[in-house]
Amino acid sequence: MTTPLQLSVVTVCMNRLHHLLRTAERVASWGQGLDLVWEHVVVDWSSEQPIRREQLPPGQHLRLLRVEAEREWSAARAYNFGLAQARGERLMRLDADVWPSDFPGHWIRDLEADQMLVGGTRGGSEGSWLMAQTLFQASGGFHELMRGYGSDDIDLMARLGAMGARICTLPAGAFGVIHHDTALRVGRGTVGGGCGPSLARAWKDALVEANRWVVVAHPWSRLRPRSAYELQANGSWRVLPASVPQPHASLALHLQELRWERFWCDFLALAPATLRRLPRAWFGPYGPAGFPVQRWHRWYWFSARRVLLLLRRLLLLISRGGALP
């Protein structure tokens, strides 16, 4: 009789092999020190350069699965796929830049059915967690209408909390994190020179805001249909396009508008009313390749944006001074 798998660690990676190479070794050495049966499921979410098995630590415990033909990063769909492939009674989600550091095996063995242990390092490990497979299934998994980065883990935890699950935050040292900038989180290796951080922040905030609205307008549950995948002859997986959940037309339009307005207003520091007055063609919508930032947008960011921020500040100061008794 074979011993049932006690733990599945699931990691999803899209174009972040340099992080995965560093963390997979650490996950492997941590797992070997555990006194339980475990596996590490690594999902290659259509990386431009497919991950090869020989690049990852050797051993039976690691399974590499590749999903083909995904055009954009979707943490929710990618993790739902990976966690559905997991065979363990306990599930651990780890991003490609995270590994279990000071995480003793008894936390896994003693985990209760209604308990979720979640990472406590701000800006890194909040999205890493451990819970029973049954609890994850009961929650319905991640919200598959979310796009890109942000809010997926918050939404999952909020739904688990509403179900009565006990959410326990782990000490900061439980998970190790490779620190990096926001550009990588939104799926871009390098963005835009001097205005890069501003661009990455606007990008992230736009996606987070739209994902927040998805939760408001379309709350997720175990009854919602999820994406289905088909095993290909070459061993990779591919989604059945008709199975991918889509927002209804009016919600899709609203989300597109929200991402568009939030990104351009944040990046170029425009007032929303101004953005709506300008020709729409000048500010492209969000697509699989992200927001189409052109050279003149960068000029605006370096020049007019700064002048206008100063001017508005001055006008506020004048109004404030003029109206004071």
Partner 1 sequence: MQAPELTLIVDGKGGRHPALAAQRPGAWELLMLESLPGPCCGAQMQTAVEAARAELVMYVPLQAQPQPFACESLPPGCFWQAEAPQRCGAALWVARRSDVLAIGGCHPLLAGPRQACLDLLGRLEADGVCPLPLPPEAVLWRDAPLPTTRWEQALLQARIAADTAGDAAVLVKHPWAVSRRDDPAALQLEPSLERKRRELRRQAFWTQLLDLPVVLLRSLPDGWCGEETERGFAVRPWHRCYWRLFRAPAAALEAALAQLLCLLR
Q: Would you tell me which residues interact with partner 1 (CB under 8 A)?
A: 151, 154-155, 158-159, 161-164, 212-213, 215-221, 223-224, 254, 265-266, 268-274, 277-278, 282, 294-296, 299-300, 303-304, 307-309, 311-313, 315-316, 318-320, 322-324
Whichever of 26 and 298 has its CB closer to partner 1, that residue is 298
Q: In this complex, which beta carbon is closest to partner 1, that of residue 233 or of residue 324?
A: 324
Please state the closest distance from residue 310 (CB atom) to partner 1, in A: 10
Q: In angstroms, what is the minimal distance from the CB of 121 to partner 1?
A: 16
* 13 token code pair: 């990676």
Of residues 180 and 201, the one with the C-beta less far from partner 1: 201
Spatial contact of 93 and 136, defined as CB atoms under 8 Å apart: no
CB atoms under 10 Å from CB of 250, counted, come to 9
Give the residue carrying structure tokens 């063995």. 109
Helix, strand, or coil (residue 273): helix
Please, which residue, 231 or 271, has the CB nearer to partner 1? 271
**Which of 1, 223 has the CB closer to partner 1?**
223
Instruction: Show the tokens assigned to 252.
Output: 């899709």
- Residue 217 · residue 158 · CB < 8 Å: no
User: What is the helix (H) or strand (E) element at residue 38, kind and residue range?
Assistant: strand 38-45
DSSP H helices in the chain: 17-32, 75-85, 105-109, 133-139, 152-163, 182-185, 196-217, 249-268, 272-277, 295-302, 304-323
Query: Please, are residues 135 and 160 in contact by the beta-carbon 8 Å criterion?
Result: yes
Residue closer to partner 1, measured from CB, 113 or 311: 311
Residue closer to partner 1 by CB (options 61, 159) is 159
Q: In what order do the strands lie in the sheet with 38-45?
A: 166-169, 115-118, 129-132, 90-93, 7-13, 38-45, 62-68, 237-239, 229-231
C-alpha angle 13-15-20 in degrees, rounded to nearest 5: 50
Count Cα atoms within 13 angstroms, Cβ side, for 111. Answer: 29
Closest distance of CB 53 from partner 1, Å: 38
Residue with tokens 């174009």: 15
Residue 269 CB, nearest approach to partner 1 (Å): 4
- For residue 93, list its beta bridge partners: 10, 129
Nearer to partner 1, 53 or 312 (CB): 312
CB of 94 to partner 1, least distance (A): 23
- Round to whole Å and give the CA distance between 103 and 106: 9
CB of 212 to partner 1, least distance (A): 5
At closest approach, how far in Å is the CB of 137 from partner 1?
16
- Closest by CA to 192, choosing from 104, 287, 299, 83, is 299
| Minimum distance of partner 1 from residue 97's CB (angstroms) | 24
